[in-house]
């Protein structure tokens, strides 16, 4: 299981939900894990504690990925603790769902800032390391970029930009042995979707009806795929957007 032994992974937005699940799987595969969070220090500490309780190595680092200074500090802290960062998982993201006529400039700035600029800044910091060997970036996108659900125009637009950044970066960084892929996550049962009242709603029931495998995703569904894409087993895969959605598309 130690396919990522002696590697260091930064997982953004890893205090809860899908990010926490990814962090746990990477640690199980032997990676040192940097659990990034923006505001919930206690939740990030619980993720770290769960990893170390199983014999893994992890630290929590606060950073707002939409701020260049914070991103620089995130990578400095990771390097100080574990050395070069070999794996970057861009999971941090924000979303809201509303008709196009109700989207505000504030909504735009927040979602573009975290989802798009945050992905760009962290990839820049990752690629700016001059002592990397073979390395991997995995960006977390959404299956909504294919299904285009109503009321998700802004969120889907930001993740479509993430998909484009993924493909372009894969071409630019390939010569350095840096692979760049994305996973397109399906509708999932997470802290975020619970907080917005989605779980148990009529909308959730409709979503399940449209998923061929017949259920919502769970945080544990994504970690194994990200771990594979981060490993040498995926050495011939780059520039790909992998659907991890129970068949939703």
pLDDT at 1: 64
Q: Which two tokens stand for residue 204?
A: 């959730």
pLDDT at 125: 98
Catalytic annotation, pick one of 37, 95, 155, 222:
155
Q: What is the torsion angle, in degrees rounded to the nearest 10, for the CA atoms of residue 135, residue 183, residue 19 and residue 108?
A: 110
pLDDT at 203: 83
Q: What is the pLDDT of residues 29-78, one digit of tens each?
A: 999 999 999 999 999 999 999 999 999 999 999 999 999 999 999 999 99
Residues 6+ positions from 192 with CB-CB distance below 8 Å: 16, 17, 95
pLDDT at 100: 93
Helix residue spans in 83-233 (DSSP H): 105-111, 118-127, 144-147, 153-173, 191-195, 202-209, 223-230
Catalytic annotation on 155? yes
pTM as predicted: 0.95
Interval 159-172 mean pLDDT: 98
Mind listing the domains of the chain with CATH numbers? Answer: 8-244 (3.40.50.720)
């Amino acid at each position: 299981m130690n396919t990522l032994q002696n590697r260091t992974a930064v997982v953004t937005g890893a205090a809860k939900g899908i990010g926490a699940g990814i962090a746990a799987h990477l640690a199980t595969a032997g990676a040192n894990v940097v659990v990034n969070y923006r505001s919930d220090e206690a939740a990030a500490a619980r993720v770290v504690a769960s990893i170390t309780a199983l014999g893994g190595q992890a630290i929590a680092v606060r950073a707002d990925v939409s701020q260049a200074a914070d991103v620089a500090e995130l990578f400095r802290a990771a390097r100080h603790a574990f050395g070069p960062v070999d794996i970057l998982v861009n999971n941090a993201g924000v979303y809201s769902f509303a008709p196009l006529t109700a989207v505000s400039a504030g909504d735009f700035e927040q979602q573009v800032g975290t989802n798009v600029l945050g992905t760009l800044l962290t990839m820049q910091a990752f690629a700016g390391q001059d002592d990397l060997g073979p390395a991997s970036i995995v960006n977390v996108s959404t299956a909504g970029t294919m299904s285009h659900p109503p009321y998700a125009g802004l969120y889907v637009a930001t993740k479509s930009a993430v998909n484009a950044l993924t493909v372009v970066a894969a071409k630019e960084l390939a010569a350095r042995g840096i692979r760049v892929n994305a996973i397109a996550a399906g509708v999932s049962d997470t802290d975020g979707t619970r907080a917005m009242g989605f779980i148990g709603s009529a909308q959730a029931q409709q979503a399940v009806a449209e998923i061929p495998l017949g259920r919502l995703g769970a945080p544990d569904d994504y970690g194994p795929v990200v771990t594979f894409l981060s490993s040498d087993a995926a050495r011939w895969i780059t520039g790909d957007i992998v659907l991890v959605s129970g068949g939703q598309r």
